[in-house]
A and B are shown apart, each in its own frame.
Chain A
Amino acid sequence: MGWWPFSSSPKQDSPPTRTERQICWDSRDAYYACLDGVGVIRAGTEAPSACKAERKAYEGSCAQSWVKYFNERRRIAFAQKDMIAQANAQNAAATGKTTQ
């Protein structure tokens, strides 16, 4: 990968540019959209055949530390959504009981 300075050269002379960031984010979004399609939350736990091309593009265009960070954030976001949904359900149940 010639254009990605991190994976090619050990000395990180140039920081990621706006274009490189955008390419990384776009490939990430494509991969996550694919994961959503197959109903997988944790990146890497999908079937080896699923989202293969998207995953390759994602891991190829984002630094490994970014991949780790984005995947972790995705997991936390879903966990939070889950928690909020649970809390809402509990609240609904509780208010339902009190109004009865």
Chain B
Amino acid sequence: MFGRRALQTCRRPRILLSRPPAAYRRPYSTGDTRNAVGVFTPKSAALFIVTGLGLLWYFRHEKAKLIEQQEQERASKSYGRPMVGGPFSLQTHKGGIYTEKDLLGKWSLVYFGFTNCPDICPAELDKMGLFLDAAQKKHGNVFNPVFVSVDPARDSPARIAVYLKDFHPGFTGLVGTYQEVKAMCKAYRVYFSTPPNTKPEDDYLVDHSIFVYLMDPKGQFVEAFGQAVSVEDMLVKVEDAIKEFR
């Protein structure tokens, strides 16, 4: 059935393995046996090993350094920097214009509240005052406390000016139109809510988030201090931030 030809085609084709001409042979296969290793002399072997070991040591060292650096970063910051802050333009309690650029150069403490606040805002502003007195003694005049009103319907710059007399003299009070305040609150992730259908002369409270934002001299967000954070805790956190700041 299967003829010889068929069997032959099934076989692997034979490759012609004739010795290449002398000209194509590699140098170490020719000549005398003393030079059997060719370029791979003891000297080059030593060089190869030393270079290899050197590179190995270098990479291991670099990797260890990188891991150490990452550990340090992780220790100093347990999370990434949140996107808090951004451009804004409001009026100061003295009547000037105040933008995000006015936060630059100093460590800013930004608090959002309103002057008709029953007890939390004044308590937080007093806490900021205590912090500022202690922190300025230690770090100098490098702080910029800011009070932003979330009640633009009632809190005029003049009203805020009167209100701030009860607190640390360094405070700058800010307010603007409802849209301007709303925009800044959005950038700072601050919630505030005025009861619906209220007139400026009404007696109402504004619900709002209670945080003191710490911004570094580059205007970048560092930390948000809640109500439960004590002055001592704030001092420690701020000192760490100042040390870490470059």
Q: Which residues of A contact B (CB under 8 A)?
A: 6, 10-18, 21, 24-25, 62-66, 69-70
What separation, in Å, do the CA atoms of A24 and B117 have in the docked complex?
12
- State the Cβ distance, B222 to closest chain A Cβ, in Å: 30
- Quick one: given A15-B162, A15-B163, are A10 and B201 in contact (CB under 8 Å)? yes
Q: CA separation between A13 and B163, bound complex, in Å?
A: 11
Also in contact, A15 and B122, with CB within 8 A (given A63-B203, A64-B203): no
Closest to B195 in A: A65
State A16–B160 Cα separation when bound (angstroms). 11
Q: How large is the interface on B (under 10, 10 to 19, 20 to 34, 35 or more residues)?
A: 10 to 19
CA distance A11 to B158 in the complex (A): 13
Contact with A along B175-219 (1 / 0, CB 8 A): 000000000000000000000000011011100000000000000
Closest-CB distance, B84 to chain A (whole angstroms): 28
Q: Tell me, yes or no, whether B244 is within 8 Å of chain A by CB.
A: no
Main secondary structure of the interface of B (DSSP, over half): loop
How distant is B56 from chain A, measured CB to nearest CB, in Å? 58
Q: When chains A and B are docked, how far (Å) is the Cα of A37 from the Cα of B219? A: 52
Task: List 3 tightest A-B contacts by C-beta distance, closest first.
Answer: A15-B115, A15-B163, A18-B166
Q: What's the Cα separation between A17 and B162 when bound, in Å?
A: 8
**A interface footprint on B86-119 (CB within 8 Å = 1, 0 otherwise):** 0000000000000000000000000000011011
Is B159 part of the binding interface, using a Cβ–Cβ cutoff of 8 Å? yes
Q: Which residues of A contact B118 (CB under 8 A)?
A: 21, 24, 62, 65-66, 69-70
- Check B168 for interface membership: any CB of A closer than 8 A: no
5 A-B residue pairings within 8 Å (CB atoms): A11-B201, A14-B162, A21-B122, A63-B116, A65-B116
From A13, A17, A65, contact of B204 by CB (8 A)? A65
Most B CB atoms within 10 A — which of A13, A16, A25? Answer: A16
